[in-house]
């Protein structure tokens, strides 16, 4: 990679980064060169505008890693639209919230997902089935969009309420892709197996950083971990990104001679336990392992130099290019080496805020500390870290009540609301407890409202919530404890179920 410059372009220009005849995208049996990728992006953008959409309109996709799903981040950007990817594992209720909250004008989804929607779920969106999609139009050329324009809404859960849309500009996504391609030392010869959901910033960046380096992105959905082993061998994969539960599954597979092509492994979405780090290093000694930390509001924050992983597997590293990371005391001053403080992220990777939510935007996106070099607006993460004398950051814990299952950030409030909607319970509280395979598992504490509460609640949650939001255990109580202020005493209740 060449030296980095703090310069951003319209996001759709990523389709122009590779050699025209080089392979850019593989999905199933479909293969696109960079010339073909640019043409496909242009045709899809033209088709979107031909449907009556106007610049700034939101277009949602709700599907697996189809060719269209992989192209849409660039196509929507070229058309001046705002892409709203919906995780394909979500059920109709969560999809309906995202459609309504974003004000999406168009939903593209496969027929089965569209059939799962109920009356009113579409809000004001027009639905088009993937099976009926036709982009046979003259391609739009590369755009001249302002890099500060809004390009995407990525929905992420907070500790309270339903998921909120993080607003990302062309510059946010472009510079994030360039940054990752640079510090991972990606090359045009690299082949990235994209297995994480494209609705996650980490998952979508698999595509974008591969293209930023002029390499090949391989869109892949799998059912069993063994499918990954076969895909890595079949596609000569060199780059693989994962979250801790996925790495645990990978470590349990029989690899033999497979995996020898892997050169770069990345982890985010939760801490990778040291025994698992050692196992991955033994399985893939030729691969460089990057331990990273990030949050959707600032895309990615830090990465640990692979050369330091063996000596410091407990660290999340140092700031990535274009990021300024600060450890801040409650009074706003800089924490001393080894002192705990809040991680604050400044710089051009910081998102534009939360869609149509100025109150929560003001809580998280605030002025950078006075000692910041970038200044401007910073993301105050709510996460506690410490910076050692060695300059490395170490994660201490989260200040909020978020539950993180298999890399998915889950709001306990969203699970509680779903449980109450069943009519089977009168009061409920959801918690995350430590789990070796999942990172955290969900425990739901509930007060029964009907005689067959357990059967009714379980059936309801299976129907209304995706698999990663299902409680692993339901604890029944006569009533939930409250504190002196009359509010639920979550601390005491969580202590009971640990």
**Could you say which of 364, 396, 428 is where a domain stops?**
396
Q: What's the structural domain count of the chain? A: 2
Residues 269 and 379 in one domain: yes
Query: Which residues constitute the domain of residue 190?
Result: 11-396
142-187 per-position pLDDT tens digit = 999 999 999 999 998 765 567 899 999 999 999 999 999 999 999 9
Phi and psi at residue 456, to the nearest 5°: -65, -45
255-309 per-position pLDDT tens digit = 988 899 999 999 998 778 788 899 999 999 999 999 999 889 998 999 999 999 9
pLDDT at 485 over 50: no
Residue 108 contacts residue 95 (beta carbons within 8 Å): no
Q: How far apart are the first and last CA of the chain?
A: 48
Residues 388 and 426 in one domain: no
Tell me if 2 is assigned to some domain: no
Phi and psi at residue 85, to the nearest 5°: -75, 135
Residue 190 contacts residue 81 (beta carbons within 8 Å): no
Residues 31 and 164 in one domain: yes
Tell me if 39 is assigned to some domain: yes
Residues 306 and 442 in one domain: no
Residues 30 and 94 in one domain: yes
Tell me if 1 is assigned to some domain: no
Tokens of 21: 């005849």
Quickly tell me which residue has 């109580």 as its tokens.
477
Tokens of 171: 């510059």
Tell me if 254 is assigned to some domain: yes
Tokens of 143: 């755009």
* CATH at residue 150: 3.40.50.12780
Residues 475 and 346 in one domain: no
- Helix/strand/coil percentages in the chain, nearest 5: 30, 25, 40
Which has the higher per-residue pLDDT, 105 or 433? 105
**Could you say which of 346, 366, 396 is where a domain stops?**
396
Task: Give the Cα separation of 385 and 365 in Å (integer).
Answer: 18
Task: Give the Cα separation of 24 and 41 in Å (integer).
Answer: 12
Residues 22 and 80 in one domain: yes
Phi and psi at residue 177, to the nearest 5°: -65, -45
* CATH at residue 445: 3.30.300.30
The pLDDT of residue 121 is: 94
Rounded to 10 degrees, the C-alpha dihedral 252/253/255/256 comes to 80
Residues 367 and 416 in one domain: no
Closest to 415 in 3D by CA, of 454, 389, 445, 452: 445
308-363 per-position pLDDT tens digit = 999 998 899 999 999 999 999 999 999 999 999 999 999 999 999 999 999 999 99
Residues 158 and 43 in one domain: yes
């Amino acid at each position: 990679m060449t030296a980095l410059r703090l310069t951003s372009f319209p996001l759709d220009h990523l389709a122009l980064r590779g050699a025209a005849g080089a392979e850019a995208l593989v999905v199933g049996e479909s293969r696109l060169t960079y010339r073909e990728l640019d043409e496909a992006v242009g045709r899809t953008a033209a088709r979107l505008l031909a449907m009556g959409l106007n610049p700034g309109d939101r277009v949602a996709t709700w599907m697996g890693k189809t060719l269209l799903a992989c192209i849409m981040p660039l196509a929507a950007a070229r058309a001046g639209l705002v892409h709203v990817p919906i995780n394909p594992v979500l059920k109709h209720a969560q999809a309906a919230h995202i459609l309504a909250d974003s004000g999406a004008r168009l939903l593209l989804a496969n027929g089965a997902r569209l059939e799962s929607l109920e009356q009113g779920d579409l809000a004001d969106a027009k639905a088009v089935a993937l099976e009926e999609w036709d982009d046979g139009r003259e391609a739009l050329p590369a755009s001249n969009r302002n890099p500060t324009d809004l390009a995407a809404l990525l929905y992420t859960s907070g500790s309270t309420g339903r998921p909120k849309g993080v607003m990302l500009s062309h510059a946010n996504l472009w510079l994030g892709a360039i940054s990752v391609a640079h510090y991972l030392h990606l090359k045009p010869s690299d082949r990235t197996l994209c297995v994480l959901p494209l609705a996650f910033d980490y998952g979508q960046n698999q595509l974008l950083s591969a293209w930023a380096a002029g390499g090949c992105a391989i869109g892949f959905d799998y059912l069993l971990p063994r499918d990954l082993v076969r895909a890595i061998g079949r596609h000569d994969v060199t780059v693989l990104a994962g979250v801790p539960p996925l790495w645990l599954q990978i470590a349990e597979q029989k690899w033999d001679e497979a995996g020898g092509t892997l050169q770069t492994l990345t982890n985010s979405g939760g801490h990778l336990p040291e025994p698992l780090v050692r196992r991955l290093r033994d399985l893939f000694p030729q691969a460089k392992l990057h331990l990273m930390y990030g949050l959707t509001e600032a895309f990615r924050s830090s990465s640990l130099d692979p050369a330091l992983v063996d000596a410091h597997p407990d660290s999340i590293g140092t700031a990535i290019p274009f990021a300024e990371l600060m450890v801040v005391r409650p009074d706003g001053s800089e924490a001393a080496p080894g002192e705990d403080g809040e991680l604050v992220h400044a710089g051009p990777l910081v998102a534009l805020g939360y869609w149509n939510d100025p109150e929560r935007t003001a809580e998280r996106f605030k002025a950078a500390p006075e000692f910041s070099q970038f200044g401007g607006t910073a993301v105050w993460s709510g996460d506690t870290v410490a910076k050692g004398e060695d300059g490395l950051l170490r994660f201490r814990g989260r200040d909020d009540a978020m539950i993180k299952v298999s890399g998915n950030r889950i709001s306990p409030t969203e699970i509680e609301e779903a449980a109450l909607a069943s009519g089977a319970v009168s009061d409920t509280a959801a918690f995350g407890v430590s789990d070796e395979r999942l990172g955290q598992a969900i425990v739901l504490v509930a007060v029964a409202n009907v005689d067959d509460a357990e059967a009714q609640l379980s059936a309801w949650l299976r129907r209304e919530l995706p698999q990663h939001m299902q409680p692993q255990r339901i604890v029944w109580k006569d009533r939930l404890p409250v504190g002196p202020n009359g509010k639920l005493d979550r601390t005491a209740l969580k202590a009971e179920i640990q």
